[in-house]
Every structure is written in structure tokens, then in C-alpha cells.
Structure 1
Amino acid sequence: MSEYQRLFLVTGSTMRHTPALQRAVAIAEATGAALHITVFIEDFDFMGLISGSGKFRETCQQENQKWLKDEADLIRGSGIKVSTEVLVTRNALQEILRHVEEMQPDLVIKDVQHESALKRVFITPLDWHLLRECPVALHLVSEVRCPLPRVIVAAVDPSHPETQITGINDRIIQAANGLAMQCSAELHLLYAYDLSLTHISDAGAGAVTMPGFSSDVRRSLHKSFMALANHYGVPPERQHFIAGPPTKAMADFAAHNRADVIVMGNAHRKGLDKLVGSTTEHVLYQVPCNVFAIQGQADQ
């Protein structure tokens, strides 16, 4: 039996044949999962400044209902069980989370909503909110070279296990492997380590001044990474241990290896770093592939 029984596609009022829709349909067809599609129309309160705004909302809702009905009929032609809904709301995040709680989908799929860096300074993007709060796996899609992913990368971090959310690396690999098996894709394991951060974290013990410190730390991290990879049977040619700041290293790896999906935890460690934006949130805008985030289920 497939791991996926129910998929939830989140889309907007101006979106039509988007990458997320293509990916959702492909996964549903491959796994036999039921697909529920909700078009969320954000109902802004214009304080009566725009004449006929109520009529505009009604027209927008009707157009989306018609498009969605026609699209659902085409999808059903592929043997997929699909249900649809058009919802006008003033709080898309709250409604998405309410739907997730009621539906209990195995996977939420959504197009990446690209926001400028300046806008992100003042307004937390909806995608970031979902990364932090969505209680089930979340697949944020920016492009699809193939309807189904062909190269899936589990991004892990075996360093400093005492500060990690318990079992997060295992959950990342299991989720990536489950997706790879259902999509007949390659599973790769990636650890992008940044020794400069390791130096800072260990500086209090004076280790940074010891000869050969960097080499010793690298060997220790590599050993931990290989143990994790071998435990899950990832072959050596699909184990990638690379140096550099995580976001840039992952971006370079994804570009050079035509990775389709990077699977990450929505938070990897305990503590205050989660408040300033996780690596996963920054990867969303800088890595040229799609993100699949799983809930940390933290020991908070």
C-alpha cells in the first residue's frame, strides 16, 4: 500500500497550470492517493474605497469554480479521485491549517510564493509560516522538469546531536526514501558542513587553537555522516559530504546534480535560532529545486 492516501493542493485565484498542480497530479496518479484542491481567494477589506468590490469577488469566485470544475474533470480522466473547493478568506494561513487539521492529508503541496528580500524584512511570507506551522509534510514547488521527481536529496546534519531535535535526521531520510520509492526516483544523502560554525561552537573549550583541529573535526563529522548513510543503505556514490555554508553548498549541489527535491526538517535544532529563520526557509528562495519539509516534532 502507498504511503500517500490523501494529498492536499493549495493554490491561489490567479494560478492555473502551475508546477505544484503538475506535481500533485503526478504524485496522485503514481500512488493512487486521493487529491483535494482548494483555491484560496484572499478577501481584502478595501473599506468601501473600491466600488463594486463585492461583485468583483463574486465574479472571481465563479471563474475559479468553473476552471476548477473543468480541471477536475480532466484529472478524473486519469483515474484520480479528486475533490475541489473555492474559498474566500481574509486569513489564508489560518484556513490552510484548519483544512490540514480536519483533512489529515499525508502531504500538502503548494507553489512557492516568491517574495522580494525587502518585503520579507517587513512581512513574513505565507510559505515561511507554513514551514513553521504545518503539522504534516509540506512540498513547496518552484519548478518541475519532470512531473515526478527523479533525484531526491535528503539534507541531514549529524553534528552536535545534543542540540538536535530528537530523531530529525531519521525522519528526513525516511520521508525522502518514501517519496523516492513511490516516484521511482534516486535517493541521495547530503551533508553540507560549515567548519566556521563548528569552530565558534567549540571555541569556549579552546579547541579552535589546537593544531589539526579542522581536520579532526572534519573526520569526525564524516564518520558520523557515513554511519548514518550506511545505516539506511545509501550507496557510496549517492553520499555527498561537502564543505561550505549550507544554503550556498546545497544550491551549488542542486544545480550541478539536477536535484529535483531537497528534503529537510522545518527545524533541525532546539533553541532560539528557530526565531530568526531556519536554513530551510532561506533555501526556499536560493536553491534551484523544490523543497520538501517535514515537521521536527520537537522536544521544544
Structure 2
Amino acid sequence: MSQYQQLLLLAQDAELTSPAARRATALARATGAGLHVLGLFEPHGLGHWQQEKDTDRHIAEQFGQFRDRLLEQVGAIGLDNTCASGQAVVCDDPLKDVLACLGERRPDMVISDLHKVSPLARAFGTPFDKQLMQASQVPVHVVPDGAAALPKVILAAIDTSLPEQGADFNQRIIRQAMAMALQCDARLHLLCAYDISPLFVADSNAASDWVEELVAALREPYDALADLYGVAPECRHFVQGAPVAVIREQVLDLAVDVVVMGIVQPKGLGKLLGDTTERIVNSALCSVLAVNRTP
């Protein structure tokens, strides 16, 4: 039985030729899942229309063309043994529209294109992909330009330094990664990056025993999870270093197509820098499947 029953694609282009559209269509074909396309229409060229009635008429005409073309393209997808459906909404409050669709459709995954935003803009604003990842209880799959239709290498990034409830969170991340790997016949790797900052080790000689104990305490649950889910020894990566840097390095070294990661609410300086998942998303090195901590 397919791991995926229903996929939701967010589309800002009625032609459905974007990387996310290609990924969503390929996943639906590979898994037999239903595909629903939510077209997010944004009016354009309104500066030439001064009177309100002219503006409203112009928006209605644009929206009608967008909706008709979107539904035509959805009908042309031609999925076997499953169905594709579509709807279009005027993008006044896209997050509200998407969350309403999630409540109605209850998909297994939301698939969206990456809209890259500068670090400065992210620091002083809240980009749509960040809002969606933090608000959605459904895993959000963000796909950048250049992504293959189907992934061949998937990396699950977990954090064994999390408190007790983190064990369930890590398992949820791994299960999402395994589901995608099984459906796409992809290779699954498991990564845990741990960072022991020298700021906390004033005397490295005196602290060596303490550091070894800490690393062992982090390694034990990692090995247990890798054993539990049958991760091949050559696909296990327990690496010291800052998580963002380690993940980026592994993505390049392993030719990773998708990183499956958790979403947590950043605190303190993290609010400015963005949490690890958001920073990996914005790097656009590969696709990201973001799993919310609250199921």
C-alpha cells in the first residue's frame, strides 16, 4: 500500500511547469496518491486601473483566465489509477487559504516551490515558506530550481540532544524520510550533527572525560534509532560540527536530493539567524521536507 494517499501542490503558475509541480506529479505517479492543486492567484498590472470598478473587473478577468488555465493543466496531468483535482483562490491571505485547504483535504504532504529570500529580508520579515512550515501540521516539501523529478538520495537529519519528547520527534522525521525513500526507490542516509562549542570547554585537558561522556550520551540514541529503522552502516553519519555547516557538507558529499528535518521555534539569537531547517531551505542546495514538532 502506498505511503501517500493525498498530495497537495501549491501553484502560483497555472502552467504547472515549476520544480514543485514536476516533483508533485512524479510523486503522485510513483505512489498512486491523489493530487490536489491549489492555485494561488496574485493580480498584476493594477497600477493602470484607477477606478475601483475597473480594478475589480480587471482582477476578475485575470482570475478567470488563471483558474481556467489551471484546471485545464490539471486535467492534462493524466495520472494512472488515481485522480488529480484543482482549485484557484485569489491570494489575499495565502497562509489562511492553504491552512483551510489542509483542514479540508488532509493531505500527507504539502509541496511548494522555494521562493528564495535574502537573509536580511528573512531577519526583518516572515517569508511565506517560513510561515507555512511553522503553521502546518502536515510535512511541507520545499523544492528549489534544478531539482530532479524524483529524489534518489534522501538524508534524515535528527538531533539526539533534544529533551525526552525529542525521541518521538526524531522517529517521526525518520519515518517521513523512509516513506519517501521507499516510494521513490531512493537511498536513505541518517545524520546527527552535534556541536560541542569550545566556549564551554575552558580547559580542554580537564574536560576531555566530560566531552567523551557527552558524545557517548548523544551517540547511544543515534545508534539505537539507526538499528531500529535498519539504516545500513555505510549510510550512518554521526558528525561533530555546527548543524547547518555539517548538513550542507553532507548534501554535497552524498549528492542528496532531499533533506528531511524538523521544525522548531527558534529562540534568542535563533530568531534572527533562523532555525537550522529554515537556513537549509534558503540555501537552495536541495529540496527540504520539513516536519513540524507538533503532530
Please, what TM-score do these two structures have when normalized by structure 2?
0.87
> Does the CA-based 8 Å contact 2:173-2:261 persist in structure 1?
yes
2:160 is equivalent to residue 158 of structure 1: yes
Per mean C-alpha deviation after superposition, the further-off stretch among 169-178 and 74-83 is: 74-83
Separation in 1, partners of 2:292, 2:100: 17
State yes or no: 1:126 paired with 2:128. yes
Question: Distance in 2 between the 1:159 and 1:122 partners?
Answer: 29
CA displacement at 1:166 relative to structure 2? 5.2
Equivalents in 2 of 1:34, 1:265: separation in Å? Answer: 25
Verify the 8 A CA contact 1:267 1:296 in the aligned structure 2: yes
Identity of aligned residues (%): 33
Distance 1:133 1:183 in 2: 27
For the pair 1:192 / 2:174, whether they are aligned, the reply is no
Cross-structure match for 2:171: 170
What is the match of residue 21 of structure 2? 21
Hey, what does 1:100 align to over in structure 2? 102
Cα deviation for residue 221 of structure 1 reads 2.5
Count of paired positions: 292
Whether contact under 8 Å (1:254, 1:287) holds in the other structure is: no
Structure 2 runs not aligned, ≥5 long: none
Cα deviation 1:140-199 (Å, max 9, x = unaligned):
11145431111111100112434x5451001011111111111111111011111118x6
Q: Distance between the aligned counterparts of 2:208 and 2:283, measured in 1?
A: 35
SS of the residue corresponding to residue 161 of structure 1 reads: coil
CA distance in 2, matches of 1:61, 1:208: 68
- How do 1:206-221 and structure 2 match up within 5 A? 209-221=206-218
When the two structures are superposed, what TM-score results if normalisation uses the length of structure 1?
0.86
CA contact (8 A) 2:15 2:70 kept: no
Q: SS at the partner of 2:77?
A: helix
Q: Partner amino acid for 2:282?
A: Y
Task: Give the superposed CA RMSD.
Answer: 2.9
In 2, Cα distance between equivalents of 1:177 and 1:25: 20
C-alpha displacement of 1:255:
1.4
Structure 1 position 86, deviation (Å): 1.3
Q: Displacement, 1:118?
A: 2.4
- In structure 1, runs of 5+ residues without a counterpart are none
Show the 5 A alignment for 1:139-154: 139-143=141-145, 145-154=147-156
Q: Give the match's secondary structure for 1:75.
A: coil
